[in-house]
Structure 1
Amino acid sequence: MQFRVHDYGLENCSIQSVIPAMDRMGDKTFTSARTTSMVEVWHLVDDELEPMTLSWNQRPARRSLFARLNITVGQRGTTPFFPCRTAELQTFEFACELGASEDDCWIDFVQDRGSPLLAIQMFQHAGFAS
């Protein structure tokens, strides 16, 4: 996923998963191998992604393992804060933990702007990460 930092002065960011409880999903669907999934969040090189030509073989290189994000139905998961300057691109890869089997690690949902919110988003906050 790639995010552009828009708001001037809100240069302390975090990644959050927003997954409503199943009885509050409305007509949206969320399926996963487990009720709670731990995924690795990798910070990638910050080249702008080209969605029409992006492929697994041509994905950006991993810069570093940034965090592990707990994705749980009915809860918000969040990463530690990180610095994010105005107009900069932040690019992340979400991956199964090393050693996880395909049967133990998969998540499937469609992200959109409709209500209820079902998403993985970058949130901007005032101040700087320490």
Structure 2
Amino acid sequence: MEALGWWLMLVGSLRLASVWFGFFDIWALRMAVFSKTEMTDVHGRTFGVWTLLTCTLCFLCAFNLENKPLYAATFLSFIYAFGHFLTEYLFYDTMAASNLTTVGIFAGTSIVWMLLQWNAHQPKSITKSD
């Protein structure tokens, strides 16, 4: 497995921990992510399902880096997640800067790395010479 695949496995595992908090420990999720707002159990479960989907994308992409549509969907999941949390911080004031920084480190690294590797995992075409 390539280094990007290992990184995606790490990020997927960290996201999996967030799934646990969303379903079973809403207080910890509130303190770790949305420290400036009230969260209901429904919000926690919604966050858990959304995070489970992005976690699944990370794991699938880690083992299938050559699959361009899956790669693009995983890449976009990082863009969407970071955009969501940035919006929560800038416009709705529901996140602390330290929490956004943590999200930014993982999402930002993933976005940049995946952009740099965008075409690196495509099968090499074999040209037939006449």
Same fold (TM over 0.5): no
- Give the number of the structure whose residues are more often helix, by fraction: 2
TM-score by length of 1: 0.24
- Give the number of the structure whose residues are more often strand, by fraction: 1
Higher relative contact order (CA 8 A, sep 6+): 1
TM-score by length of 2: 0.24
Structure number, greater radius of gyration:
2
